[in-house]
Structure 1
Amino acid sequence: MAKAKKILEKMGINPRDDWTIKEVQKVCEYYNLECAPPSGGGSHWKVSSEHLEGILTIPSNRPIKPIYIKKLVGYVSAHQDAEEDKGDG
């Protein structure tokens, strides 16, 4: 799963690349984030964390716009920080 770590690093360096929802799913799975598919005919995947409030929505249209990739990178970072804080307590 080190590949998912490299994908996240590349996303942080180049959010404008041609990222797919499959790569988003790999990153979420590696970092223990929930990545739920669209429901009810929508096109947005829902990323959530047990440690964070709020849900990040990412449209599955390809390529995924850079703003959503930047938000994902930040969300993963916040998730890791919250996970570490919970471990210290």
Structure 2
Amino acid sequence: MIQKMRDNPRDWRLASLEAIAKRLDIQVRKSGGSHAVFMHEDSNIVVTIPSTRPIKSIYICQFLALIDDIGA
């Protein structure tokens, strides 16, 4: 799924990112607002993604940067 995301960073849903995050031990914080925050203890990168659908490609690129930073 990560490779599909790299190939086409458009039109992803928050549920897909949350599933990937769970597999990679990336923490997801939802404070009841309209955003989700992704972070990992081995990275200084924090990615805030709005819950709107579809998610814009810039946010997917930031999420992929977090994945790359933790070496996954």
TM-score normalised by L of structure 2: 0.90
Whole-angstrom distance in 1 between the partners of 2:2 and 2:28: 15
Match of 1:19 in 2: 12
Q: Flag the structure with more relative contact order, 1 or 2, with Cα contacts below 8 A and sequence separation at least 6.
A: 2
Question: Aligned pair count?
Answer: 72
Whole-angstrom distance in 2 between the partners of 1:80 and 1:36: 21
Greater share of helix residues, 1 or 2? 1
Percent identity (aligned): 33
Q: Which runs of 5+ in 2 are unaligned?
A: none
Highest Rg: 1 or 2?
Answer: 1
Q: Which runs of 5+ in 1 are unaligned?
A: 1-6, 82-89
**Would you identify which runs of 4 or more consecutive aligned residues in structure 1 move more than 3 Å?**
none
User: What value does the CA root-mean-square deviation take over the aligned residues?
Assistant: 1.3
Greater share of strand residues, 1 or 2? 2
Q: Pairwise mapping of residues 1-89 of structure 1 onto structure 2 (< 5 A)?
A: 7-16=1-10, 18-37=11-30, 39=31, 41-80=32-71
